[in-house]
Structure 1
């Protein structure tokens, strides 16, 4: 069973249904007539007007069924509202959407379904008008048009309900607006009135009467101009034509009005024009605010202003003298500050462009200054470094290493050190720094730090050392490195309790590979030979390439010397013989091995051991190659 999805306007439908108030309402005879007529017209088992709620479908009208609602998940109409065309299911038992639906498998045993969506006036699908039958039925274009026509009848009633609901809402809002206007008009804190185009009073709120001291009937018998002071009768005449022409929407003027008791009243009069539906001027809305108290305060302020101006003039002369002196001091200070700023900027420009890490740390080990290179190297913004402790920026492990140097510089000593920061330390990109710490003239002010990144120099030194001691082709130690290892082993042998052995290896028929396939192939053979040699020896054994196709091996910590040496030589000869191809070219790789032994607790000369192994190698070659000889 396929559960119908929610429509994109799901919330809009639920809102409209709630506003109409037709869910769970009594039966509507006008719609019942349509469902009965449809049942007779189509000879259908049931006809339903279904409204889709959040979790159910509720039947506004139905004939042929004895229920008023059913779950939405099993409803056919839930699918109908998702499309714009009628949903026709000729045999639900064969439809993948409905074949295992409880309404198909059980009562009312729906086989045929035809439904059309019912829409609100906004176009939101509210439900459907549908036919149900327990038999397979034919369906013609005429049947579909009849279903659409009957759906239109039901929908027209729903639209009528919407219009009636909308009208009721508008009337209610209008009544509330009128009531609110009357309350506002009657209780407004300012004078509020409607005035005709000839400035006759039309409506007056109580506040106008209270301000002027007239009863409402007295004001209605006169014009607004009649209660205006003689000096202000024409104050607004220049603005009225602009208001009538539409040039302005309203105007405000300050006027002097005449109260009923003969006293005057200062007001702000604001007028705006109201036009009728034809756009013709109809009347004015006039708002009157009492500003008499404000005017009295203004007059009092004007009287004080003259005295204040005189006092200000005298005080200004005194202040001018003081200001002249102050300006001179400020100018001098600005000059000194500008010179100091320029000096700081020059120093900053110099430090930021020096390829070195420069910083100042106070006596409490807080950074007060770092240059741009320092911040970039540690990957921390300059503003975030200042004020931080050295241990927080450098990291605990690094700080433990440099803490003794910091202690010395804070005691007044200049110190230098090198430190390596790994890439995974969480500080900068890693590398090696050479740092000099210089104490300030007063050690209470801390110290300066100058660091240079010597990572590349260290790498170059390491590379040079490696190249000086290793064969560039095979990566094995070269003659120089091997001789140093042999000299060291010879010195230790007088105290050692184990024998050592020196193997001298020469590749058999190596010249033939060079002559036949070229020197590049010969280099590949040398690489294969060197890797095979290294892979088939113990981790403590030292392997080296002396020159050309000559290799040596220094075996140490031998238990049963002759047995161990023989086993190692046999394993190596077997390993070389197992190499059948190099770079796809068939080879028969073998070597002649000469062995010389250095006995434990006996003096040993490196030259003698080398000569013995070399002589033994030649004895092996004379014996047929591909074999070893223990001298």
Structure 2
């Protein structure tokens, strides 16, 4: 049986904090399950949350049960690692061969589950797919399933943040009858006629300092055009209500994200527009939460390097620029030498610490125009903004030298190495798949040459039998 995660109490606390257990079916997550079934050609998919003694299905496709016991479940094993758990034939796996859902309905033979990582080391469940026939699961499919799990984690985090904001806003409305918002009364010329005392907290101004001023005087330059259009529509009576989001300049010169709700006011006798009332609310936390969610979806949770998704976006952008006549670039595929020995000998925690140290060294050696990504356990890839052979060779030598420097892991000096494969665009290839495959081919040659070295891609290079590319997009 699998052991409990070392941080089980922290994991369960995070799961409870989401407040999603035993909640109604969710259309977005149900759609994600249907997408997973179609993408991987399987009959069943679930978004599973692993509770203390059960696994509960937040969403599902092709699966009838609402929950099953946690003991001996596939997902219990899947949350013990950041990697995708793949069971190609459950009847041949002693962990699951006697499971009721393997020997009986729904007769699961194949399983793949990617953990939902809420925060580094906090895995609350899985996005998993199941089938009734044994099958393999490629590296690309593993990456795609992991991407779906990342999206679920990001959505859950965003919902929790929005729920907290809603609760907070409702609390203050009850206590102070909206006095936490800055209330503004303006004429059709948008000049402020009244400003509530909340201006001191929001913008650092006393209300009297803002009376007679124009909102455009405090708008961030990047937000001016869209905000001016809304004010014009209100002033000319083309719009009765509007909600905008932009940055206001505070008295100290800093910027704050605000949401402004406008309501047009009319003369009670003839109904003509006379101005508007606006409620201005600080939404900095919400904007920061959206930024963090976006960051999580495109960065590796352990090292904070770019993940496979962001790497692919940057690579696609670089190739498009090169096709338009821009400068070429290089892709360097890196694989750490002797990392497994450290990970197995000193434990996964030491292995994670080692990967973080390596990530810092890699970032320190590249330029601002370069991208460093982690695309696997101990596999990294770099987009280098220069495609000249001598530049790639110089960077590769510096990378090898930096990685070879001893790394102190709680008093234990560790020495590892790195093998590097290099492909150049558009010299070697002008499409993403070929370029990555060629860089991986060159890496394979470097490891075969004794490791801790580098090789450029050359036509005619090939993998050995049964070896496949590890950086397929």
Q: Distance in 1 between matches of 2:373 and 2:397?
A: 19
Q: Distance in 1 between matches of 2:337 and 2:275?
A: 71
1:490 aligns with: 319
1:533 aligns with: 362
Out of 445, 448, 451, the residue aligned to residue 280 of structure 2 is 451
Greater RCO (CA < 8 Å, at least 6 residues apart): 2
Q: Distance in 2 between matches of 1:351 and 1:439?
A: 24
Q: Does 1:616 align with 2:442?
A: yes
- Paired residues in the alignment total 276
1:445–1:550 CA distance, 2 compared to 1 (3 A) = same
Deviations 1:275-307 (A, max 9, x none): xxxxxxxxxxxxxxxxxxxxxxxxxxxxxxxxx
Query: Is the helix fraction higher in 1 or 2?
Result: 1
1:455–1:591 CA distance, 2 compared to 1 (3 A) = same
Deviations 1:174-207 (A, max 9, x none): xxxxxxxxxxxxxxxxxxxxxxxxxxxxxxxxxx
1:502 aligns with: 331
Q: Distance in 1 between matches of 2:403 and 2:374?
A: 16
Q: What is the SS of the residue equivalent to 2:311?
A: helix
2:247 aligns with: 420
| 1:510 positional shift | 0.5
Out of 367, 390, 395, the residue aligned to residue 213 of structure 2 is 390
Q: Distance in 2 between matches of 1:522 and 1:542?
A: 23
Out of 560, 568, 577, the residue aligned to residue 395 of structure 2 is 568
| 1:572 positional shift | 1.1
Residues 75-474 of structure 1 mapped to structure 2, 5 A cutoff:
352-353=177-178, 356-363=181-188, 365-371=190-196, 373-374=198-199, 376-381=201-206, 384=208, 388-391=211-214, 395=217, 401=224, 402=227, 405-414=230-239, 415-422=242-249, 425-426=251-252, 430-442=255-267, 445-474=274-303
Q: What is the SS of the residue equivalent to 1:432?
A: strand
Q: Distance in 1 between matches of 2:284 and 2:261?
A: 16
Return the TM-score normalized by structure 2: 0.52
Q: Does 1:605 align with 2:431?
A: yes
1:236 aligns with: none
Retained in 2: the 8 A contact 1:375–1:385? Answer: no
Q: What is the SS of the residue equivalent to 1:390?
A: coil
Out of 456, 461, 469, the residue aligned to residue 630 of structure 1 is 456
Say which one has the larger Rg.
Answer: 1
Q: Distance in 1 between matches of 2:220 and 2:359?
A: 41
Deviations 1:221-276 (A, max 9, x none): xxxxxxxxxxxxxxxxxxxxxxxxxxxxxxxxxxxxxxxxxxxxxxxxxxxxxxxx
Q: Does 1:587 align with 2:414?
A: yes
Q: Distance in 2 between matches of 1:621 and 1:456?
A: 47
2:96 aligns with: none
Q: Does 1:476 align with 2:305?
A: yes
1:444–1:501 CA distance, 2 compared to 1 (3 A) = closer
Q: Distance in 2 between matches of 1:472 and 1:588?
A: 24
Q: Distance in 2 between matches of 1:434 and 1:395?
A: 17
